[in-house]
Amino acid sequence: MSSYEQNNVFARILRGELPCKKVYEDEFALAFHDINPLAPVHVLVIPKGEYVSNADFAAAAPPELIVGFWRAVAKIAKDLGLDSSGYRLVANHGAQSGQSVFHFHVHIFGGKMMPHDMTKLPGAAAKG
């Protein structure tokens, strides 16, 4: 995988150069609504650091950032009210996954029944 590109769209959101609909922020993570939601709840969580994908994040991030990031993901899902109904986490890595923004991010999908077939995306925003 190629190296981190400083002007990817999430780097620019992190630097405050582009707006986002913020859901949560702490020292480890920033979370905001996806611009093109694929479920009634579709939030993206990004770490505060320059990591291309999960492989890069797992290999290179300091342990406290990895722990803080994943704790933030769980807290955000809970704060969104998804704990009891359930939710899906997705992190795309590389071309065949369909990754389109090369700053590591986790998708939180919720608010509808997810298709069990992992080749399908969660689906349009209609309640399921």
Active site residues: 105
Between 26 and 34, CB nearer to ligand 5GP = 34
Nearest CA to 80 out of 51, 118, 42 is that of 42
Stretch that binds ligand 5GP, among 22-30, 32-40, 57-65, 118-126 (CB under 6 A): 32-40
Residue 107: in which H helix or E strand, if any? strand 106-110
Q: Which residue has the tokens 């704990």?
A: 83
Q: Is 26 in the site for ligand 5GP (CB under 6 A)?
A: no
121 binds ligand 5GP (CB under 6 A): no
Assign 73 to helix, strand or coil. helix
Nearest to ligand 5GP of 35, 58 (CB atom) = 35
Q: Which of 1, 35, 58, 113 binds ligand 5GP (CB under 6 A)?
A: 35
Q: What is the DSSP string of 49-107?
A: S--SSHHHHHHHS-HHHHHHHHHHHHHHHHHTT-TTT-EEEE---SGGGT--S-S--EE
* Binding to ligand 5GP in span 58-97, by CB under 6 A: 92
Residue numbers of the site for ligand 5GP (CB under 6 A)?
A: 9, 18, 20, 32-36, 44, 92, 98-101
